Each structure stands twice: as structure tokens, then as C-alpha cells.
Homo-oligomer: A and B are copies of this chain.
Amino acid sequence: MKIKCTISYDGTQFSGYQVQPNKRTVQSELEAVLSKIHKNPVKVYASGRTDASVHAVGQVVHFDTSLTIPFDRWKKALNAMLPDDISVTLIEEAGEGFHARFSAKAKEYHYIIDRSEQPDIFKRNYRYHFPYKLDVHSMREACELLQGTHDFTSFCAAKSAVEDRVRTIHKIEIEEVDNELVFSFIGNGFLYNMVRILVGTLLDVGQGIIVPQEIPNIIDGKDRNLSGKTVPGHGLFLWKVYYDN
């Protein structure tokens, strides 16, 4: 049987999602617990990796099991055995054709900025502190121009080996909540560091370093040097992965 598992994690103490030798990763913690339960090695497949210090509210993974454990007990057992910075929020049976990565239709990321002059120390691992003046209206204009289907080479880490860099962003929104700015992105897929470079570019727009009307040229230039900085990972959350139904 194939099990679909929705998990949340605090990325602060992880060297990212994916297994790396001698590093603490989300995948290695999950596989260690599942292998213990199964008394056999179990491999876990995620919707995609996340980098060091990046968080997840709704990451999705799947694994195969021959055990017949009721779903509520699966959830309790996993949460009891997992470290307290990973939490299983939902366990479901998935059809045999399901794959956490290849069945995903879209993903939603949030990036949160703390604009207070003095950062909230209780949120220091979950917010990027950016206390500078921002023209949110211009930033929203730039969002409109970034939405749609484009080759996002200018918004992809230069070291990425991916060849097809055409992606569709269905929606970018910026919400002001107290002293915070919450960016949300929904798209059919995101290149390496793409959300963090998009946010860095939008912050340049907010500061008047880039005007919104330049966005189409930045996209067309297909050059990482044209866009803004890569903002830090600790403000980023993999919020939700969308599948059919």
C-alpha cells in the first residue's frame, strides 16, 4: 500500500530536506523512523527538496508499506517517534499511481519579512528582518508582470543544471499583516532558489532600485545578474503542494 503523508517541519536545525552524508536532514529522520517501524530500510519520496533553514507547513511525501496499521495510529506512532521539529499532520492512502513529486500539480510557497525596526527575537528563525522603507504598491505592479508562463532563467540560481526553465506562476500576492509582509507564490513548479530570488527582486522594486516596468526586460534577458539578491532561507515556507482532487 502507498501512503501519502503531509508533514510540517522547522528547518532551523536541518541541513535541508534531502539526505546528505553526516548531516541532519528531514529525509534521513523520516527514513530512520520508518525503517525502525518496518524493521527494514524504507525510502521516502518528497514533492521536492527544501534548502537548509527553509521550513515546511505542508510538505508531502510518500512511501510504500506492507504493514496494516490504521491511519490514526500511523500518525500517532510517527509523531511519537519523530523529533519535535518534524510533525506529521495528515496520513492518507494514496492510489498506486501516486508520486509525491511527479503527481504534484502546483506548489505554494510563503516568504515572510519582519519590517519592525527591532526584530522580534522569538521569530528570528522564521522571518527575514528587513526594516527598510518599501513601496508596496510598486511591488504589487511587479508581481503582475512576473505572473504567467515565462522562461525564469533570470530567477534561477546560476549553478542549477536544469535545462527547461519555463514555469508558470499562477499567482503572486503580497499581504501586509502588522509589521510583516507575507509574499505568497503559487506555480506549477519553481526552479532552484527561484522564490528567494523573486523576493529579492521584489524588495529591489520596493526600494526603487528596479522599476516595475523593467521586469519584462529582466525576464527576457535570461541572465541571473539582472535580478535581485537571493534572500535568506529562514523566511521561506513550503506552504502547500497541490494534487488532483
Chain A contact residues, CB within 8 Å of chain B: 8-10, 55, 84-87, 89, 118-119, 121-122, 124, 126
A9 to B122, CA, bound (A): 8
Of B55, B86, B89, B119, the residue contacting A122 (CB under 8 A) is: B55
The 4 closest A-B pairs by CB, nearest first: A87-B121, A10-B121, A8-B121, A10-B122
Q: How far is the CB of A216 from chain B (nearest CB, A)?
A: 37
Copies of the chain in the assembly: 2
A126 to B124, CA, bound (A): 13
Contact A122–B126 (Cβ < 8 Å): yes
Q: How far is the CB of A85 from chain B (nearest CB, A)?
A: 6
Residues of B with C-beta under 8 A to A119: 87
For this complex, 16 residue pairs linking A to B, each with C-beta atoms less than 8 Å apart, are A8-B121, A9-B121, A10-B121, A10-B122, A10-B124, A55-B122, A84-B121, A84-B124, A85-B121, A85-B124, A86-B121, A87-B118, A87-B119, A87-B121, A89-B118, A122-B126
